[in-house]
Structure 1
Amino acid sequence: MSRIRNIVVLLRGQLWIIPLVISAMFLSLAFWILTSEAAFVTRWEDADLWWLYGGDASSARGLLSSLLSGLMTMTSLVVSVTFVILTLAANQLGPRLVPTFMADRQIQTVLGLFLGTILYVLVVLRSLDETLGTNAVPHLAVTIGSALTVVCLFALLFYVHKIARSIIADNIVARVADELQSSIRSMLPDDDRGQEDTPPDRMPARVGTLSIGRSGYIQVIDYAHLVSVACREEVLLEVKVRAGHFVLQSGEHVVVHGERALGKEAAGALRSAFVVDRERSPAQDLEYGLRQLVEIGLRALSPGINDPYTAVAVIDRLGVAIEEIFQRPLQRTMLRDTEGRVRVIAQRSDVQGLVDAAFDAIRQAGRDVPAVLIRMADILGQLAPAVRTREAQAAVLRHLAKLAETADAAALVPIDRSAIRSRIKAARDILVAGIPEGESSVL
């Protein structure tokens, strides 16, 4: 499923797929209409078809030529505006957000509508000959071409509205956060039912290591395939990398425990479980969406932009994401076969690492911005109701301690430092009181 999700993510980020599909549909529509007898009928009995084009071939060619010229102009405008928006997004919000804009289905649909209409009008236009009589003109095809042009005009208005809304920082932050929420729900289970995530009683002897053999970012690891290979070879695999890591060609990426080393065929089968490419993917990487939000916050806090309100909006959304993570059990690290024996020990993102990935960089960049530090302390305190484990409580308290050290070392006036300190204390008090002493690890 992770492989399939990775392919879907890659396909959604391709700007040309939906326009290609729509263009193919419009070409099929033009062919069907031009080969249908209904296209050449000017009127039906007992029907007042005032909207149906009824001119001759010369007038139809002139009309379609004018429509084609206007469509080409509008399409050029849409493409130009798209490139301007992508440039602004890359400069102000980060180049890693460009795939988010390219994956927008509404933008892809508008582009497909324009391209498909152009192709439709071209096909109908080339079928017209000025020597044709009035009854030989494909009236229905010309009418549909005119209607599609009108639809394109309204689509252009929608596109301008869409672009105007999309460059608002809060909307971009909300969209990235929504995608992050969707990724969290798809990667983390709703409940904690299943086998216990406990290590084996006795680790077999270490008999060898395996490198992936390719350099790049790990996008997906097929753990089910690893378990299958481990069962066939009667070994235990300890995976030292996870999705999102950058790896070199050589290294101890997988440690093999068992009675004998793996053969060449088994090693090749293990390597095939790793999908490595030039960039990270959200298919199996919990930190991917967090880092996208963090990048927006860091650019907002840069001296060239200096927009603390966007950074505050990012902190709010990061709090929502961390709350969602706290309410769900994390991905299992001990993967077992059908008999319950541990076959793969996976490296997964833990609570502390996720909290650090969400808040560390923004805390460091906003150390001299009181509004950012105060908001971060408030959000960490608001996470208290979602804290259900000792690990989550320790992660948030540790970050509050980092926040206090940052405030003490920053160049702040005493009144701002005092305000930050009071918010940190309030958040810590709520968190400490949240899980009573002696409570079990999972509430």
Structure 2
Amino acid sequence: MDRLINIFQQIRTRIAFYPTIISLTGLLLAFLMIYLEQKNISAYLVEVTPALVIDDTDTAKTILSTLIGGLISLTVFSFSMVMVLLNQASSNFSPRVLPGIISDQKHQIVLGLYIATILYNIFILISIEPTENSYQTPGFSVLLGIILVVLCLAAFIYFIHHISQAIQVGNILTAIHSRTKSEIASIIKKQEVNTFEFPNHEYWETYEITETGYFYGILDDDLLELCKENVIKITIQLYKGQFILDDTIGFKTEKPLDNELKQKIISTLLFSNEELIGENYIYGFRQISEIGVKAMSPGINDPGTALNTIDYLTSLFLDLMRKADFEYLSDEEGENWAFIRTSKFSEILFNVMATYRLYCKHDITVMRKLMHMLKTLINHVINSNQLEVIEAEIHELKADANNNIENKRDLSKLDADFISWS
């Protein structure tokens, strides 16, 4: 089941997923209406509500042809807008945000409605055939086609509004922050009922991975079932997002495995040729920091966006400090069967700070904001290791500021409380 869910999630993120399903629905609706027209549904409606039924064949053909041509133009225009949106997001923010925009269900549903209506009208137009020197006019089907086009026009207005909102950096940051915060919260919730008990695995049997690609997750249920069936505990030595090469040590087990069981365990590890967002909260930190750094580039020169990204990162780091450095795969009784390595708080904080320090060390406002973030984190430390890591980053931040900011008055403000002036 986990494997099927994983395949579905990958397909669902494709831009053609919902358009394909909705288009097939429009096609089925067309066949249904053709069948009902053969049962003389239009003739019945002419008797009941003649004003709603188009009974002139030439008029019906003209209307359908016009609607098809207009909708094709509208579809091309809408797809062009999506491409422009993706190009602008990639140039101004980060290529990493593209999967989130592409997988937006609202864009896909609107595009799917266009294509479904085009297919419906085409097949209804084709169904107008001569019968005994006259044409059977599918009046009710034509009326339904007009209604669908009106819905497409309403969807287009909504599409314009939504796409104008989607390109705004504030909405992009909010979406990334919400998704990442939710992923961290789900991990913290699981660890609240975890015992953190696991055997020492320093000298366990090691097994290499023959796959090449990005490691992005585990089929939890399948791996847990294998561990319980074979009464064996395992440690996963890979990090989510790590690029795996041949002969990389992938996992350890407390006892030797035969080749069949080894291959079954490897099959529960998920690899891809491209980086997938999935449930990897690390990508949230990276996407937000990349947007902030890109905003400080000379071509964009938007320090206000960089300051906003630091606010979102501060919120995420406060949550991350509550997460343990390791994750466990447990059964219903709470026994841990698998030990999973994850990126530590110190590693993520260093990567984020190193990126900002390199590209923002000349801007006193951004440096002060980073100092404010670190001081905020100090007030919420959970253990001495976190305190030590944060103090080290403060020391490095001050060193970079002293080496790159020449104005002494600006340097004197580095430790002052940051007050937003926006």
Whether TM-score is above 0.5 comes out as yes
Percent pairwise identity: 25
In structure 2, the partner of 1:379 is 373
Which of the numbers 403, 412, 417 marks the counterpart of 1:409?
403
Which of the numbers 183, 207, 211 marks the counterpart of 2:208?
211
Point out the more displaced range, 353-362 or 155-164: 353-362
Matched, 1:100 2:100: yes
Shift of 1:198: 4.3
Shift of 1:204: 7.5
In structure 1, the partner of 2:313 is 318
Query: Aligned runs of 1:16-415 on 2, under 5 Å?
Result: 16-36=16-36, 37-45=40-48, 50=51, 52-129=52-129, 136-189=136-189, 192-195=192-195, 197-200=196-199, 205-206=203-204, 208-222=205-219, 225-226=222-223, 228-230=225-227, 236-258=233-255, 261-326=256-321, 328-330=322-324, 332-333=326-327, 343-383=337-377, 386-415=380-409
Letter in 1 for 2:60: A
Shift of 1:143: 0.7
Aligned residues: 416
Show structure 2 runs of 5+ residues with no match. none
Structure-2 change in CA distance of 1:42 and 1:311 (3 Å): same
For the aligned residues, what is the CA RMSD?
A: 3.0
TM-score of the aligned structures, taking structure 2 as reference length: 0.88
Structure-2 change in CA distance of 1:203 and 1:106 (3 Å): closer
Structure-2 change in CA distance of 1:234 and 1:26 (3 Å): closer
Distance across 2 between alignment mates of 1:220 and 1:129: 55
Helix, strand or coil at the partner of 2:249: coil
Structure-2 change in CA distance of 1:169 and 1:81 (3 Å): same
Shift of 1:209: 2.3
Shift of 1:186: 3.4
Letter in 1 for 2:109: T
Distance across 2 between alignment mates of 1:298 and 1:133: 72
Shift of 1:234: 5.7
Residue pair 2:325, 2:345 contacting (<8 A) in 1 also:
no
Residue pair 1:117, 1:149 contacting (<8 A) in 2 also:
yes
Summarize deviations over 1:145-196 as a string: whole Å, max 9, x none: 111112212222222222222222222222222222232233432661231x
Shift of 1:115: 0.4
Residue pair 1:212, 1:274 contacting (<8 A) in 2 also:
no
Residue pair 1:55, 1:134 contacting (<8 A) in 2 also:
no
Residue pair 2:209, 2:247 contacting (<8 A) in 1 also:
yes
Shift of 1:124: 0.7
Letter in 2 for 1:41: Y
Shift of 1:393: 3.6
Show structure 1 runs of 5+ residues with no match. 427-443
Shift of 1:254: 2.2
Shift of 1:92: 2.1
Distance across 2 between alignment mates of 1:102 and 1:78: 14
Distance across 2 between alignment mates of 1:334 and 1:171: 34
